[in-house]
Structure 1
Amino acid sequence: MSVADRICDEIVASVLIVGAGPAGLAAAAAAAPNAKNVLILDENSEAGGQIWRRGVDPSNTQGWALYSQLVAQPHVQWLSGSRIIAVIANNRLLVETPDGPRIIQWQKMILCTGARELILPFPGWTLPGVTGAGGLQALIKSGANLKGRRVVIAGTGPLLLSVAASVKQAQGQVVAVVEYRSAAALRQFFYALLSGHQQKLWQAVGLLWAMKPWRYRLSSVVSAAQGISEVTSVIIQKGDKSEEIACDLLACGFGLRTNLELATLLRCQLRDGAIVVDEQQRTSQQNIWAAGEATGIGGVDKALIEGRIAGLDATGYRATDKEAKLREKAWMFTGTLQKTFNLDVRLRQLCQADTLVCRCEDVPARELEKFADWRTAKLMTRVGMGACQGRICGVACEFLYDWQTPEARQPVFPAKASSLALLADLPPDTSLHG
């Protein structure tokens, strides 16, 4: 008897939703009334994704309305703490769950796989106490107490404001917010919000007001973190001038990048680092939809409306004109974000020759600069072969060296031996992989 024959019964889903963040919850709520059964799969133990971390509670009116609607329906199933390992034949997925490997057979799939933070290497970025901006916010949402701790928040984008507000709520002291963009660029951003996204403008104003006293440094960047066993200060560079600021924590982020591993394995068309979809959120693959940050970074409003449209269309219903207009407005905001906070190639100068680019395998920039592509560098230096499997350094190398990192390979994530044994015994989906 083969390993595949010994596995427990398959889970059959008429609509499989990958990701239980805002987009996934909205998609499930829209699909549930018209689907035979809905399966929501997420790697976290609770619904909510990164933006509603620690689960959804009544204080979050948007999320709670969706969540409470779903948990009351018996034909909506949840598979939490689970990861998709591989795509196999006949619309089936190999999934690693807390109870062991399982196979899911799906009829329709909605990808709401979200995004992860982009962190660019700079001297000292591997010191304890240095995190991603979103990473620090996630720690705070998980209960971290920052009482009395001095925090520098650096990088670019609206997330910096949100993180600063979270630090203050956790009783931390924001000693500086270091924004790479200039005052002129931010003025244009606020003008764009004023003309078409006034609700978001007031959200930004509220976050700014909560930050009093303001400690903004514009047209600036953290060029180094200093310390021995942990970060104790940072060097802030503005043009030719530098300034040292003492701190206990540094949170640094340069925006988000979509999680595309599963979309790549499913052969969905990609463009500019996102899944290509039509007005009904359909991807290039039959019976696969996508919504939220997976189709472009745009925030919670975009995720909610795209998720709803995808859930409706996957079950044979079309969005209303009002919903279509909301989607269009959300995409306008996405374009504004991309235009204002796109990465400047001058940020490559932050990475010095001895700066570690791959912190899992301790590979410095000097060992990578000699190679013309990711594959060669990986073979010669082991870059991207550590625990994160290139999810941090791979995106950084794309930016630093203009490399195209190879397509995702199975297993998608590090997996248990029992899952790998099962994978070896299962046929791949040749319709997708040739």
Structure 2
Amino acid sequence: MPTSSERAEHADRAAAEFDLAVIGAGPAGLAGAVAAAERGLRVALVDAAPQPGGQFYRQPAAELHAERPQALHHGWAAFAALLRRLELVAEPVGRFADHHVWSVVPTPDGRWRIHVLTGPDQRRARALTARHLLFATGAHERQLPFPGWTLPGVVAAGGAQAMLKSALVLPGRRVVVAGSGPLLLAVAASLVKAGARVPLVAEAADYLGYASGARVLAANPGKLLEGGQHAAVLARHRVALRTRTAVVAAHGGDRVESVTLARLDRDWRPIPGTERRVACDAVAVGHGLVPQLELPLELGCRTVRSPDGAAALEVDARQRTSVPGIWAAGETTGVGGVQLALVEGGLAGRAVAGDSAVPAALLRRRARLREFAELMAVRHAPGPGWPAWLDDDTEVCRCEEVTAGQIRSSVAELGAGDQRTVKLLTRAGMGWCQGRMCGPAVSRLCASYAGGGGSEAAEPSYADGLLTRPLAVPVPLGLLAESATEPPTRGADE
């Protein structure tokens, strides 16, 4: 007869077994979880944040008692509708907030074991089991370094928006917004509506390039409307928009005090004589997004290369990856925005539940939005001349303080031919972020220095920062020792 502790252990194990585990509670993950649960599946929704919504629907901390969190968001109605559907499903969705997935492994009986860390200091471990997986893990922001980018007050563009949404604070009072991609307009609009002064938005690409995609634009009028709304906010607050322009240096002592802007040629090389300084106390900078793929890469999911050089998961018409039992949706399949994420998440949830009656209109909507995403990726892909912004003393890997000069020497003098070899020779990517911040820049610099100065032929030979890691997040050694009988992931003991 089982003891009380054995019965409790069995009950806990049964409570942690699901038909589908959705990793990521952003728009794609929520849509997938709801669609699957509405069709009778027992679903676990696992996310590292304390509240659902992901980066796009990030909400103020509960202790701030925000009365109108929707005022900080675009498209809040869709999110609210998802939350209402989540509450109405017949089979309740298991919600695992503040759960950091550090490994996923197949089990002998063909299921998936999801190892997570939780608790205030992420030192408590637990595991969930599911027959199927849906990866909706979102994306990292791509950073292209420049002299002075490590000064206090220089933040990621998405980071500035996250500060506003989650903590209701501004990164500064006078904020230059710079980089490339449509996120810049949304960030600048959010900042000025919250009271910041944004003297200008510096876009490294040229919006005139969208003219080549007139058909795609016409098929996505909602995207044009959204861009027009952001532009109207910026015009109302007299925010200048400068295309073919980049922040090529930041200046200051204890904090950023000004930036140098320069006009760029078609390859993103600064044009001599166009430099000018602009005073500011913060810079919000980002050059697009890179899918977050640590977990699916370790499980062997195949990737494709997006038009902007980033790796994305390869999926079929039903959002299935190359590994049986694993689906993907949202930014993991290629950065495309919240509307595409919602559509893909819903399609994946239906597919996992075995629903073959997918409305044709939904499939056409996915195709239209994916076309627009690819157009954006082409128009805002970093130019091969970007390394011309750097001097040899510019830190590229800020965790390990590795400079552009050290990376150049490892390629030109020591023969490093890829990012992994540069990592071994310089420690670039071995720090706390494990290459999430510097990986794309290091991979592009490798190709540039190997190709002799950043010509068209020197674009990366493989997708941005594509390095697999045996552990998706830092894990206490004690927890690894406890799970020694069950290897945390393929190759973890190498």
Q: When the two structures are superposed, what TM-score results if normalisation uses the length of structure 1?
A: 0.93
Distance in 2, matches of 1:203 and 1:18, equals 28
Aligned pair partner of 1:207 in 223, 227, 230: 230
* Aligned CA distance change for structure 1 residues 232 and 426 (closer, same or farther; 3 Å): same
Partner of 2:83: 67
Q: CA RMSD in A?
A: 2.5
CA contact 2:258–2:277 (8 Å) conserved in 1: yes
Partner of 2:384: 345
- The one-letter code of the counterpart of 2:173 is R
CA contact 1:147–1:171 (8 Å) conserved in 2: no
* Aligned CA distance change for structure 1 residues 433 and 316 (closer, same or farther; 3 Å): farther
Map residues 282-361 of structure 1 onto 2, 5 A cutoff: 282-318=320-356, 319-361=358-400
Distance in 1, matches of 2:172 and 2:473, equals 38
Question: What residue ranges of structure 1 are gaps of 5+ in the alignment?
Answer: none
Distance in 1, matches of 2:250 and 2:467, equals 33
Distance in 1, matches of 2:360 and 2:426, equals 53
Distance in 2, matches of 1:432 and 1:316, equals 34
Aligned pair partner of 1:230 in 252, 255, 279: 255
Partner of 2:21: 16
CA contact 1:57–1:64 (8 Å) conserved in 2: no
CA contact 1:155–1:179 (8 Å) conserved in 2: yes
Distance in 1, matches of 2:469 and 2:232, equals 46
Map residues 29-428 of structure 1 onto 2, 5 A cutoff: 29-54=34-59, 60-73=76-89, 75-90=92-107, 91-98=112-119, 100-146=124-170, 149-188=173-212, 191=214, 194-212=217-235, 213-238=238-263, 239-240=271-272, 241-272=274-305, 273-318=311-356, 319-371=358-410, 372=416, 373-402=418-447, 407-427=467-487
The alpha carbon displacement at 1:334 in A equals 1.2
Question: What residue ranges of structure 2 are gaps of 5+ in the alignment?
Answer: 1-5, 61-67, 264-270, 306-310, 411-415, 448-459
The alpha carbon displacement at 1:193 in A equals 5.8
CA contact 1:58–1:64 (8 Å) conserved in 2: no
CA contact 2:114–2:128 (8 Å) conserved in 1: yes
- The one-letter code of the counterpart of 2:232 is W
CA contact 1:145–1:171 (8 Å) conserved in 2: no
Task: Tell me the SS of whatever aligns to 1:336.
Answer: helix
Distance in 2, matches of 1:148 and 1:391, equals 25
* Aligned CA distance change for structure 1 residues 428 and 350 (closer, same or farther; 3 Å): same
Share of identical aligned residues, percent? 36
- The one-letter code of the counterpart of 1:296 is G
CA contact 1:127–1:231 (8 Å) conserved in 2: yes
The alpha carbon displacement at 1:229 in A equals 0.8
Greater RCO, CA 8 A, separation 6+: 1
Q: Which moved more, 1:240-249 or 1:382-391?
A: 382-391
Distance in 2, matches of 1:113 and 1:234, equals 34
Task: Tell me the SS of whatever aligns to 1:171.
Answer: coil
Distance in 1, matches of 2:475 and 2:314, equals 29
Partner of 2:64: none
Task: Tell me the SS of whatever aligns to 2:49.
Answer: coil
- The one-letter code of the counterpart of 1:352 is D
* Aligned CA distance change for structure 1 residues 380 and 23 (closer, same or farther; 3 Å): same
The alpha carbon displacement at 1:188 in A equals 4.6
Aligned residues: 429
